[in-house]
Amino acid sequence: KSFFNHTAYLSCSFPNSQKTDIKDLRVFWQKGAIEVVHEVYYGQEKHDNLSPKYINRTKMDMDKWTLQLLNAGIVDEGQYRCIIQHRDKGSLKVIHTSECSLQIIANYSQPEIAWLHTGELKPKEYLNLSCSSSSGYPKPKHMVWLVASGNKTERFMSSMDVSQDAVTKLYSVTGKLNVTVPTNTLINISCLLHLGEQLWSLVSVPLSI
């Protein structure tokens, strides 16, 4: 996993038990079947075969056999393969391959509750609220409203309006809630954005009515 616009670290997992000199190896990374991400040819970085979108965006740590991918974006998600070849009697022989999967994470803004109605609030009328969060990734799983009154808390699943930026591929999300205006009692309403089992959830500042 790597954060959006940060450096992603992709490990080659090469033990190099033979202590082979980098000058006797060809090391290259590729994404998918055809995109060459980085190439080190007998100790020298080689740029001839690189896919254009990776030029000047990669660095190889020769000691740790790790590739650094700068300014990682959503389009960089996917499977990467590291292939190491050894120069043996004039020809190149594959001595190591490994794969890793890159997932990008972007922090959503804290969910924010907004009023959608105009005019004075009256008891037993419906209160219309929205909850919005922006500039995050991956796509959120669901949104839940928590309505607390006294020692009781009700949960309401919210339908989500999700949009994706055409350039950054980051998501923005809005959900809505209609609740009855309480009579002579205080309620606290919060909005919870759930991002997935392996990630985290974000909660809004509570709205007190």
Work out the mean pLDDT of the chain and round it to a whole number: 90
* DSSP category for residue 106: B
Residues 177, 151 within the same domain:
yes
Residues 82, 161 within the same domain:
no
What is the average per-residue pLDDT within 163-186? 90
pLDDT recorded at residue 19: 85
Residue (of 45, 53, 48, 52) closest to 75 by Cα position = 53
Residues 8, 98 within the same domain:
yes
Residues 121, 44 within the same domain:
no
Q: What is the pLDDT of residues 37-60, one digit of tens each?
A: 999 998 888 888 899 999 999 999
6-10, 24-28, 114-118: least confidently modelled range: 114-118
pLDDT recorded at residue 116: 85
The CA distance from 53 to 51, in Å, is 6
pLDDT recorded at residue 42: 87
Residues 17, 78 within the same domain:
yes
For the chain, give the percent of residues with pLDDT over 90.
Answer: 65
CATH number, domain at 195? 2.60.40.10
- Is residue 133 scored above 90 in pLDDT? yes
Number of domains in the chain: 2
pLDDT recorded at residue 124: 73
The pLDDT confidence band at residue 35, using thresholds 50, 70 and 90, is very high
What is the average per-residue pLDDT within 78-93? 90
Q: Which of 61, 84, 105 is the last residue of a domain?
A: 105
CB 96 within 8 A of CB 84: yes
The pLDDT confidence band at residue 169, using thresholds 50, 70 and 90, is very high
Residues 15, 80 within the same domain:
yes
Q: Which of 105, 130, 151 is the last residue of a domain?
A: 105
Q: Which of 80, 105, 130 is the last residue of a domain?
A: 105
Residue (of 128, 80, 133) closest to 104 by Cα position = 80
Residues 48, 100 within the same domain:
yes
For the chain, give the percent of residues with pLDDT over 70.
Answer: 99
Residues 135, 183 within the same domain:
yes
Print the domain residue range for 145. 112-208
The pLDDT confidence band at residue 119, using thresholds 50, 70 and 90, is confident
* DSSP category for residue 110: P
Residues 8, 101 within the same domain:
yes
